[in-house]
Amino acid sequence: MRASYKQKCIVCRKNHALVTWKNRVPVCVECKMREINKPIKDKKFKKMFDIDNALYEKSGFLRNIKSSYLRFGELSEKQIEMFKKVVEEVKKKKDKTSDNEI
Ligand SMILES: [Zn+2]
């Protein structure tokens, strides 16, 4: 099922977060941003993740990649490739306001 709906954030229990088929745990953007806002030591990844915060706010995909890097300390070549690609896509969509996250 691909339907998405909003549920109360499990972290702050205040805001609502979008629950989708690929993202079943509702964590609002605010909490997720706080979670991924951690210093990165590795030079290569530090540079890669050093993008405008607004891009992370726009894209659940970018938040998830950074979140998994913080959790596992590494990313696959494929994830790195996708991250860079999506950053460009989100930049292009910057002025569009919508709920459609990439
Ligand atoms: Zn929250």
DSSP codes joined into one string, 32-74: HHHHH------HHHHHHH-S-HHHHHH-HHHHHHHHHHHHHS-
Ion ligand 1: residues, CB within 5 A, are 9, 11-12, 15, 28, 31
Output the CA 31–ligand 1 centroid distance in Å: 4
Output the CA 60–ligand 1 centroid distance in Å: 14
pTM: 0.81
Tens of each residue's pLDDT in the chain, 102 residues: 567 889 999 999 999 998 988 778 899 999 999 999 999 999 999 999 999 999 999 998 999 999 999 999 999 999 999 999 999 999 998 665 555 555
